[in-house]
Amino acid sequence: MSRETLDAAARQTELAKLKGWSDAGDAVAKTFRFRDFSEAFGFMTRAALVAEKMDHHPDWKNVYKTVEVRLSTHDAGGVTALDFKLAAAMDKIAGA
Ligand code: HBI
């Protein structure tokens, strides 16, 4: 998959296909909210395995039942198609 960064217009086109993700310029971001810590950590565990398989990893922070996620392609210095692929996978795992 291409590691070329997407410009603002291309990011908007991709964001429109998802729910709850926003443009953070150098990343795309979403805060996932779960019922409890166990659900949040279960999500992270499943997402981590997918990320490892993709060799594409999230920047994220967990506080109790929320998981704040930022996706960017560090090697490319911005947002690429890979980030949207991982974003869609995370939504699927979260049942969104
Ligand atoms: N994850 N988000 C993200 N961005 C990267 O550029 C990246 C990664 N995981 C692994 C990875 N790059 C490796 O391909 C390189 O660091 C070798």
Q: Does 69 have pLDDT greater than 80?
A: yes
Ligand 1 centroid–CA 43 distance in Å is 21
**CATH of the structural domain 8-94, one choice from 3.30.1360.20, 3.90.79.10, 3.30.2130.30, 3.65.10.10:** 3.30.1360.20
| pLDDT computed for residue 45 by the predictor | 98
Q: What are the residue ranges spanned by the domains of the chain?
A: 8-94
Q: What is the pLDDT confidence band of residue 39, given thresholds at 50, 70 and 90?
A: very high
* Per-chain mean pLDDT for the chain: 96
Instruction: Name the pTM for this structure.
Output: 0.96
Q: Does 1 have pLDDT greater than 80?
A: no
Give, using CA atoms, the residue closest to atom 17 of ligand 1. 75
| pLDDT computed for residue 96 by the predictor | 61
ipTM of predicted assembly, 2 dp: 0.95
DSSP type of residue 78:
B
